[in-house]
Amino acid sequence: MADYETFQHDVLVIGAGGAGLRAAIEASAAGVSVGLVCKSLLGKAHTVMAEGGIAAALGNVDDRDNWKVHFADTMRGGQYVNQWRMAELHAKEAPDRVRELEAWGAVFDRTKDGRILQRNFGGHKYPRLAHVGDRTGLEMIRTLQDHGVHQGIEVYMEHTILALLKDGERVVGAFGYERERGRFRIFRAKAIVLATGGIGRAYKITSNSWESTGDGLALAYEAGAELIDMEFVQFHPTGMIWPPSVMGILVTEGVRGEGGILTNSEGKRFMFDSIPENYRTQTADNSEEGWRYCLGDKEARRPPELLTRDHVARCIVREIKEGRGSPHGGVYLDIAWIKEKMPNSAEHIKRKLPSMYHQFKQLADIDITEQSMEVGPTTHYAMGGIHVDPDIQMSRVPGLFAAGECAAGINGANRLGGNSLSDIVVFGKRAGEFAAKFAKENSLGQIDHGKLEIVAREGVAPFERNGAENPYQVQKDLQEMMQDLVGIVRNENEMRSALGKIDNLKSRAAKVGVTGNREFNPGWHTTLDLENLLTVSEAIARAALERKESRGAQFREDYPNKDERFAKVNTMISKAPDGSMQIRLEPLPEMPDYLKQVIEEMK
Ligand code: FAD
């Protein structure tokens, strides 16, 4: 048996984005020893890319806001298949988490009277997103990292976890490798928190970083946890589409929150044509009112560009499909038009949207204070993920917790912008707290060395193959296939075909060979990520097939309407004893009367 270097902690947190850092801080504060593992360097997690802001009903800009309105907005955005208890905890606790970030040193933009400023975002009734220009994620990571490094958390950077280790039913450790040298490592722990982020890299066009290969979901699935609502993948309406090298990079919703409008090749503001019935009373029906809303007029209704993301994305796809797109296959997003309304518009845009200004200037040679942007939908966020207990964040595997984008339930069929940054700190904190509690109540388990040997052998197997398949080609084929067959608009035939292709890609992935040695070898890393991407892709396709209706982010052209049969169920995916992927429909827990009443009142 090989002798691998072993590390030992009470709580091991896998992932150092906002959720992982917040969990590590909380566990450490509870007095247990904490290890924090991440694929990249500390501070470089995907959270750093978040732009628009963090949603919390602070009521600083509009004092009509409170947790009840936030809860009702989140449930409506999620089309009522959210785990209501998570949505409730999130709405109630987000303001405290934001104030805590401020107390730890986050410098949010301010109102004139010195309070945390909040901006408009799609689906939120009132201005609710605390922000730092369009670099909110950077400030959050900086703050959490600064706070965390003083707490004695042991950080293992550039380490990738390949498998979770169990003693009977309970999770007792993790096995992985350090990316620089390729050496294997064992992490023993009494409790584990998965905070590995999203799955965007399963698709060709995505706003997600290279880390988002669904590792946590696949690790949890293999360990016996269930995945919930995998069909709900959010396609953000506005990603860059030109030049090709930057395709998919996000154009924050903050642009529309600051007054940006969407137009087609005929110059028409097409979003006015498609206001859904249930949003009609909240949505402006003329440009002037929409603009007044962006300027903070409390009496005005919001512009149609700020309807939910799924709706805006589908309207954009419609314009493109019907031949009213821009030259590179998108539509126009125009913030420059506000110069008609504001004498100092260029400075205003640069101050409110500095990253967007530089992003377009440097990557596309476009000055957004003068010209409109070309944008199109990009795969952005996974509403589905690891099923956890809403209060304590533990999966059905004892000792295995999950928080942040890799966990699921709060967002239902669609997430409102800004609700992820608040989700990761609300539930990151809870996961850390309850993982520490679990660790105090349990001892270290036994490591199964036989299992270790199998994982280690599989890990190095690509070096022993003759390389009949190339890892990058298999990854590319998977991403293109998911984009084409399990994308924004879905139907049964295409998704059945996708499942066949996934089987084929699995066989090809098993033949992938890599050359060179284990020292920082990107081909090898890509090969190891492939299995996770294949697992999440299959889960998305199976869940999307099972939900025979259109709801939130899932649009089925063969079932274009909502269906009562699916109004109160979640899809649940798990691994069967024979190794196959199983899916079942699980009824939602009954919502208590006081929350039903909140929703009624807010209607
Ligand atoms: P991440 O920040 O993705 O961190 C995942 C961590 O897990 C990383 O450290 C990674 O290295 C590690 N990891 C992954 N796999 C492994 C493995 N196998 N082994 C070890 N470590 C692993 N949301 C909002 O609410 N507001 C916004 O304004 C906003 N803007 C966004 C802008 C962009 C461009 C994007 C892409 C997303 C945005 N989002 C926004 C969404 C939000 O940023 C993410 O959902 C959130 O940051 C996810 O945080 P996380 O902690 O769950 O995971």
Give tens-digit pLDDT for 42-83. 988 999 999 889 999 999 999 999 999 999 999 999 999 999
pLDDT tens by residue, 272-326: 998 988 889 989 999 999 999 999 898 999 999 999 888 899 999 999 989 999 9
Tokens representing residue 110 in the block: 């301010």
* Residue written as token pair 């999620």: 78
Ligand 1 atom 4: the closest Cα is on which residue? 17
In this structure, the residue with its CA closest to atom 46 of ligand 1 is 47
Q: Whose CA is nearest to atom 23 of ligand 1?
A: 420
Could you give the 3-state DSSP secondary structure of residue 300? coil
Cis peptide before 243 (omega within 30 of 0): yes
Pocket test for ligand 1, best of 36, 47, 132 (most atoms within 8 A of CB): 47
The closest-lying atom of ligand 1 relative to the alpha carbon of residue 249 is 34
Q: Average pLDDT of 466-470? A: 86
The residue contributing the CA closest to ligand 1 atom 37 is: 50
Q: How far apart are the first and last CA of the chain?
A: 63
CA of 17 to the centre of ligand 1 (A): 6
Mutate to test the pocket of ligand 1, among 222, 420, 455, 532 (most ligand atoms within 8 A of CB): 420
pLDDT at 1 > cutoff 70: no
- Strands 569-575 and 227-228, by their bridges, are antiparallel
Q: State the distance from the centre of ligand 1 to the C-alpha of 602, rounded, in angstroms.
A: 31
Pick the atom of ligand 1 nearest to 47's CA.
Answer: 47
Is 236 among the catalytic positions?
yes
Residue 149 has pLDDT above 80, yes or no: yes
Q: What is the mean pLDDT of residues 497-518?
A: 96
Q: How large a percentage of the chain has pLDDT more than 90?
A: 89
485 CB contacts (<8 Å, ≥6 apart)?
494, 495, 497, 498, 501, 541
Ligand 1 atom with the shortest distance to the CA of 532: 18
Instruction: Identify the residue whose tokens are 């097939």.
Output: 545
Q: Give the pLDDT of residue 362.
A: 95
Residue 184 confidence (pLDDT) = 96
Q: What are the φ and ψ backbone dihedral angles of 118, each rounded to 5 degrees?
A: -130, 140
CA–centroid distance, 201 to ligand 1, in Å, is 12
Query: In ligand 1, which atom is closest to the CA atom of 20?
Result: 51
Q: How far is the CA of 244 from the centre of ligand 1 (A)?
A: 23
Check residue 543 and give its pLDDT.
98
**Choice among 46, 70, 159, 236 that is catalytic:** 236
Alpha carbon nearest to ligand 1 atom 21, residue: 38
Q: How far apart are CA 67 and CA 219, in angstroms?
A: 34
Rounded Cα distance between 326 and 333, Å, is 10
Q: Can 256 be counted among the known catalytic residues? A: yes
Task: Give the residue, out of 46, 153, 235, 378, with the most ligand 1 atoms within 8 A of its beta carbon, to mutate for a pocket test.
Answer: 46
CA of 558 to the centre of ligand 1 (A): 33
Q: Which two tokens stand for residue 456?
A: 């280690």
> Ligand 1 site: residues with CB under 6 angstroms?
14-20, 37-40, 45-47, 49-54, 136-137, 159-161, 195-198, 207-208, 211, 215, 250, 381, 404-405, 417-421, 424
What's the average model confidence in pLDDT over 200-218? 95
Closest ligand 1 atom, CA of 19? 51
pLDDT of residue 380 exceeding 90, the answer is yes
Long-range (24+ apart) CB contacts under 8 A made by 363-369 are 363/240, 363/243, 363/246, 363/249, 364/240, 364/242, 364/243, 364/246, 368/255, 368/335, 368/336, 369/335, 369/336, 369/339, 369/345
Q: 475-500, pLDDT tens digit by residue?
A: 999 999 999 999 999 999 999 999 99
List CB contacts of 538: < 8 A, sequence separation 6 or more: 499, 502, 581
Candidate list 90, 201, 256, 415, residue with the active-site label: 256
- What is the overall mean pLDDT for the chain? 95
Q: So what's the pLDDT on residue 532?
A: 98
Protein residue with least CA distance to atom 47, ligand 1: 47
| 45 C-alpha to ligand 1 centroid (Å) | 6
**For residue 113, how far is its CA from the centre of ligand 1 (angstroms)?**
32
Q: Output the six-digit token pair for 265.
A: 């090749």
The residues with which 239 forms a beta bridge, in sequence order, are 250, 376
Helices (H), 45-103: 67-77, 84-103
**244 pLDDT higher than 90:** no
Q: Are 43 and 137 in contact (CB under 8 A)?
A: no
Q: What is the pLDDT of residue 298?
A: 84
149 C-alpha to ligand 1 centroid (Å): 19
Alpha helix positions (H), 465-592 = 471-485, 492-509, 522-546
> Confidence class of residue 2 from pLDDT cuts 50, 70 and 90?
low
Q: pLDDT of 220-242, one tens digit each?
A: 999 999 999 999 999 999 999 98
Question: In whole angstroms, what is the distance from residue 17 CA to residue 6 CA?
Answer: 24
